[in-house]
Amino acid sequence: MTDRTTYVTFAGVRRRGWTDTMMRDLLGTPDLQGRDPRRWSLSPLRLYLLARVETVERTPEFAETSALAPARSAAAVAYAERRRAAVLASIRAEPIEVPRLPGPELERRAARHRRLLGAREGAARGTPAGALVRWQVSYLRHALARYESLLDGLYGETGRGEAERLLRRRLYEAIAAAYPALADECRRRIGVER
């Protein structure tokens, strides 16, 4: 059995002020790696010998690397912010072309799209009030899914949520402009999906 008091986890090393790059470059591979018996996780539990971590923390390489870490972190944040701003600008500038269909054709395609999605609403129960309008907006929103590629390159904290909200709002506004009868449903979805 391993004495866990002589080891520190990956998260524990990070709490000591290490970055992922510092761990990779200065510590290398973990001393022990396996599954955490206390909880299930896809990623293995990585343990580093505490004595080895403390020894590396006393080296000049660690002092130099840790002095540079804030500047590198600031550069990474600045890059992420520039990327976020560029994606938001491209979303704002991208012309959104909504397919123009005659009313009966849009209704037919929306109902077919609904059936393909596995809707269980049968003719015996009838169509709920306003359902056709919701189906039409859903169909048109699906038809505009190609614009999701504008979000490529945004991950996690780099503004992905903000970009997704902006894109959804622009898509619903374009649908409302192309089909004024669907404008109320588009405004409702913009409000709900914030």
pLDDT in tens, 33-57: 877 677 777 777 888 999 999 999 9
Alpha helices in 31-126 (DSSP H): 50-57, 60-93, 103-116
Q: What is the pLDDT of residues 150-175, one digit of tens each?
A: 877 666 656 778 888 899 999 999 99
CB 181 within 8 A of CB 101: no
- Cα within 13 Å of Cα(177), Cβ side: 11
Euclidean distance between CA atoms 127 and 185, whole angstroms: 17
Residue-level pLDDT at 43: 72
Residue-level pLDDT at 174: 95
Euclidean distance between CA atoms 152 and 84, whole angstroms: 11
Which residue has tokens 């009868």?
A: 181
- CA–CA distances in Å: residue 83 to residues 1, 47, 69, 150, 158: 48, 35, 21, 12, 8
Residue 9 β-bridge partners:
47
- Cα within 13 Å of Cα(180), Cβ side: 0
Residue 22: other Cβ atoms inside 10 A: 20
Low-confidence ranges of the chain (pLDDT < 50): 1, 122-124
Residue-level pLDDT at 18: 85
User: Which DSSP letter does residue 118 get?
Assistant: T
